[in-house]
Amino acid sequence: KPGEQKHSKEPSSLQCMHLAVVACGDRLEETLIMLKSAVLFSNRRLCFHIFSEDSLKPEFEKKLQEWPSSYTKKFEYNIYPITFSVGNAQEWKKLFKPCAAQRLFLPVILKDVDSLLYVDTDVLFLRPIDDIWHILKEFNSTQLAAMAPEHEIPKIGWYSRFARHPYYGTTGVNSGVMLMNLTRIRNTRFKNSMVPSGLTWEEMLYPLYQKYKNYITWGDQDLLNIIFYFNPECLYVFPCQWNYRPDHCMYGSNCKGAEEEGVSILHGNRGVYHDDKQPTFKALYEVIRDFPFEDNLFQSLYYPLQSKFLDTVHTLCGRIPQVFLKQIEKTMKKVYENRVIVYLGANHRY
């Protein structure tokens, strides 16, 4: 804020967990609900990097400023226009979904950011971002990004059955939740199928797109799969509970990590928050959307969620409610424990 003094010796950008999202078209509400889920549960300060069409910027600012101060003090944000540093901007903008290719350019645009978590607009955090942020410390010396597999079972995976281009591993990776060490990405020369000497990230993007554009279906995600096919040592693969999608339950439960620990990050792709095909996903979205910020988390979020889930038991995903509820219940208990400790600590001084 103007005139505000920072009492820490560290710049706020170093204290922050950086979260980026790209929102175009009708994705305003989805993006705000995603940001709300991040703020509800996270412990450390957050820095939001919101890339959007110019027409959405005033609405983002208005909505974020309406949030109560007890939450707005937990984050800072910047809103950026949609820009592409190489190639044809209109081609990039229309690749797969509107503006989705913007994520490929984050290392180039956010030059002062060391590490970043990128998520799609249709993501919900069911535990603190702090927990996935810690995965950055698990990277070995060559790893510079982390994603989850596109599928757990090759025989029903999309890439293993239909892809006409190289892809990572046996089932490909899903780019809806992507943890990145941007400094490493900027400093690496990537192996590729175009030149033997290796290319920087920015040098590689447009030639790669030109070479494979007639073979890719999922746009920027396919390009990331091609990059990590040629550079597998650069990728850390995290388990499916960090990017849990309808595919993990609509063909029977096939995400063991979520069965054991519960869903950590829910990814409602296929538009499932807005239709009735996967009511368990829609229930979580609506409960977080409707939660009044300063209400009791159990009374106004967890119990309504349990109630809504009772109406979904006839569906494949609804048959495993514990997968969806286990982690969020654990997270809310921790939030309360932290508040009690802070409250008791404050009173102890008197």
For 157-184, write each residue's pLDDT tens digit: 888 887 889 989 999 999 999 999 999 9
At 305 the pLDDT is 95
- In a 10 Å sphere around its CB, with 0-12 CB exposed, 13-18 middle and 19+ buried, how is residue 199 labelled? middle
Asked if 261 contacts 326 with a C-beta cutoff of 8 angstroms, the reply is yes
pLDDT in tens, 41-56: 999 999 999 999 999 9
d(CA 262, CA 311): 20
Beta strands in the chain (DSSP E): 17-23, 46-52, 75-80, 115-119, 123-125, 145-149, 173-181, 235-237, 265-267
At 66 the pLDDT is 96
Give the sign of the dihedral formed by CA 235, CA 240, CA 244, CA 249.
Answer: positive
**Lowest-confidence region among 12-21, 131-140, 216-225, 298-307:** 12-21
List the chain domain ranges: 17-238, 241-345
Asked if 121 contacts 31 with a C-beta cutoff of 8 angstroms, the reply is yes
Q: At residue 4, does pLDDT exceed 90? A: no
Architecture of the domain made up of 17-238: Alpha-Beta Complex (3.90)
Q: At residue 9, does pLDDT exceed 60? A: no
Percent of the chain predicted with pLDDT > 70: 92
Closest CA to 270 of 158, 104, 172: 158
DSSP state of 276: S
Of residues 304 and 217, more confidently modeled: 304
d(CA 270, CA 38): 21
Q: At residue 132, does pLDDT exceed 60? A: yes
What would the two tokens of residue 63 be? Answer: 């909505």
pLDDT in tens, 265-297: 999 998 999 999 999 999 999 999 999 998 999
Q: At residue 3, does pLDDT exceed 60? A: no
pTM over 0.85: yes
d(CA 290, CA 166): 42
Q: Which residue has the tokens 């710049």?
A: 11
The single-letter code of the amino acid at 229 is: Y
The partner residues of 200 in beta bridges, in order of sequence, read none
Three-state SS letters, 252-275: ECCCHHHHHHCCCEEECCCCCCCC
At 344 the pLDDT is 58
At 199 the pLDDT is 96
At 1 the pLDDT is 37
Average pLDDT, the chain: 90
Closest CA to 162 of 173, 171, 152, 174: 171
Of residues 345 and 284, more confidently modeled: 284
